[in-house]
Structures are given as C-alpha cells and as structure tokens.
Structure 1
Amino acid sequence: MSLHEQFSTIIAMTVMGVWIGISLTTYHRFVHPKKKWRWMMIITDTLFWAFQGLFVFFVLLKVNEGLIRFYIFIALAIGYCAYKALFQSIYESILEWLTNVVVKTALMIYLTIKMLIVQPVWILLKLLYRSCKILISVLLSAVLFIVSVIVFPFKWAVRLLVPQSFIDRLVRFFYIAIRFFDRFTKKFR
C-alpha cells in the first residue's frame, strides 16, 4: 500500500469516526429517548451497528480495496473522540433546532390541511345531509298529501272492506318505522 493510500485511509477513517459519532447521537435522540421496549432495543441496536460496520467497510473498500490495518481502528477512535470533544454540543443544538423546525412545519401543514380541506368538506357533507333530510321530509309530506287527497274519496270504501284491526296494525307499523328512521338519523346530526 502506497503512502498516498495510507494517508487517504487515515483521513477517510477519521471522517468515518466523526460520522459514527453523528449517527450515534442522532440514533440515541430518536430511537432511544425513553429506553422502553428492551427487546426492540436489541433489534434496533444490532441493525444500527451492522449498518455502521457495513458503511465503514464500504468506505474502506473504496479507499484502499478493503485492507484492514491496526491504524484504521485508531483513526476511527480519533474521529469519534474529535466529534465528542469538538462537535457534539454544536451538532446536538443543530439537531434540536432541525427537529423543532420539522415538527412545527408538519404541525402547520396538518392544521392547514385540516382547516382548508377537511373542515370545509365536513361542513359541506353536513350541509348536504341536512339538505337531503329536508328534501326527503318535504317530498314525503307532499306524497302523503297527494295520497291523502287521492285516498280520501275511497276512505269510506276502505272502512267498509278492510277490518279496523288491520288498519290499526298498519298505522302502528308505520309509526314504528318513522320512529326508527328518526333514531337512525339522530346519530348523524
């Protein structure tokens, strides 16, 4: 391995140490804020470190064809320590600021969608429902009026031909159906 490859490897592994520090801080900020679900921590920690190891090896493969030397681990440790000493507090404040910006932006988008799309559609649906209910009641009243006008001349014939008990049962049935319809529509008010 040439001197240029060794120097490139040391620089790349130092940067990877800083990367591991940044990703570890981000990982602990979002995945383990309250340390719940121990079995889930085992899975996520294993996946996190497997990804980090594969990423470091990928960079190492691109820099020096995957040759592993002792100074690579020292460079990783130096990069991680440099991150902890120099950049961690700055990165944590930037991360908190970005998190707050994303959360507030998402909340603003949610409220905007709710106010501009969901609430007007809901109001229109309620208005449509009430309009249909009024239209149905008007049409039903008109049909009942027309039926009563048509049936009135034949009322005396019906009384002579149909027994009163059947008429009482029919009236009771319609009364129960109307009560059921009223109870059903009260749920949607």
Structure 2
Amino acid sequence: MSLSTQFITMLTMISSGFYIGVIQDTFRRFTPYWKNRRIMTYVMEIGFWLTQTLLLFYILFLVNGGEIRLYIILACLLGFSTYQAVAATSYKKLLEHIIRMVSAVYRFFVKVVQAVIISPIKGVIFILYKIIMWLIKLILKLILFVIIVIITPIKWLLLFIFRLLPKKVQGFILKLAGIYSTMKNKCIKIWKYVSLKRR
C-alpha cells in the first residue's frame, strides 16, 4: 500500500472505531427491551456484532482492498478509546434527548390519529350499530304485531267453535291439552337435566 492509502486507511479505521463506540452505546440503550428473552438476546447480540464486523470489513475493502494489518486494528481501537474518553457521556445524553423527542412526536401522532381517525370511526360504528339494533327491534315488533293480528281472529274462531262443541268433546280436548302440557314440561325438565349432566 502507498503512504496515502495507509493514511486514509488509518483515518477510516479511527472513524470506524469511533462509530463502533457510538453504535454500541445505542444498541445497549435498547437492550433492556429484550433482556428478559434469552433467545432474543442471543439473536440480537450475534446479529449486531456480525453486522458491524461485515460493515467494517466492507469499508476496509473499499479503502485498501481488504488488507488487515496490526496498525489497522490499533487504529480502530484508538477510535473506540477516543469515543469512550471524549464523547461517550455527551452522546448518551444526546441519545436520551433524541429518544424523548421521538417518543413525544410518536405520542403526539398517536393522539392525532386517535382523535382524527379512530374516534370518529368508532363513533360512526356505534351510531350505525344503534340504528341497526333499532331497526331490528322495530321489524320484530312489526312482525309480532302482524302475527298477533293474524292469530287473534283465528284464536277467536277456534274458541267460538270450541264453545259450540258438546261438553264431552270439550272435556276430551281439554284433557288432550293437559296431557300435551304435561309432556312438554317433562321434556323441558329432561333436557335441562341432560344439559347439566354434560357440564
């Protein structure tokens, strides 16, 4: 490598080391969100360091064709140490400030979406639900009224015919009605008993 290439490589590796310090602190800031999930922690750690290693090697490949020498590693460590000594505290404070700003913007947009989109949609759905339920009740009442209007004359006619029948026939019909009512009640009791047994 020429001197200019070596100089550019050193500057690049120092900057890369500085970048590693920044990105590591950023990664560590969000680690508590998956710290209690062991598999997730392993996946994130391996993925993070693998990604950073590939990125550094790609940068090195662009600068000097991918040659790795001792001074390159030392330059990277120098950049990392410089970050830790000079900029780590300030960057962490800046990162917290950025996170608070992003969180505030996110909450603001959530409230806007809630107020402008979700709440009106919920209101419209609630109104439609009330209207539909009112229509269903109205239709059921109309159907019940029609049934009553149809059945009532038939009931009167049957009652009139029943009164014209001889007493013995009336007694027989009443007896049949009593037997039917008794059987109906017994069937209901048996059904309830079976249902309770199934539970």
TM bucket, shorter chain: 0.7 to 0.9
Match of 2:188 in 1: none
One-letter amino acid matched to 1:147? I
SS at 1:68's partner residue?
A: coil
* Distance change (3 Å), C-alpha of 1:102 and 1:137: same
1:73-84 pair list within 5 angstroms: 73-84=73-84
Match of 1:45 in 2: 45
Partners of 1:96 and 1:77 lie apart in 2 by 25
Larger radius of gyration: 2
Q: Is the 8 A contact 2:25 2:92 kept in 1?
A: yes
One-letter amino acid matched to 2:16? M
What TM-score results when the alignment is normalised by the length of structure 2?
Answer: 0.74
One-letter amino acid matched to 1:83? Y
One-letter amino acid matched to 2:9? T
One-letter amino acid matched to 1:149? V
Match of 1:26 in 2: 26
- State the shift of 1:22 in Å: 0.5
- State the shift of 1:155 in Å: 2.0
Match of 2:9 in 1: 9
Partners of 1:8 and 1:51 lie apart in 2 by 23
Matched length: 168
1:63-78 pair list within 5 angstroms: 63-78=63-78
Match of 1:110 in 2: 110
Partners of 1:77 and 1:127 lie apart in 2 by 65
Q: Percent identity among equivalent residues?
A: 30
Q: Considering only aligned residues, what root-mean-square deviation do their CA atoms show, in Å? A: 2.5
Match of 1:96 in 2: 96
What TM-score results when the alignment is normalised by the length of structure 1?
Answer: 0.78
Partners of 1:45 and 1:18 lie apart in 2 by 19
Partners of 2:97 and 2:50 lie apart in 1 by 29
Match of 1:139 in 2: 139
The answer for unaligned runs of 5 or more in structure 2 is 163-172, 185-199
Q: Is the 8 A contact 2:34 2:40 kept in 1?
A: no
Partners of 2:86 and 2:4 lie apart in 1 by 27
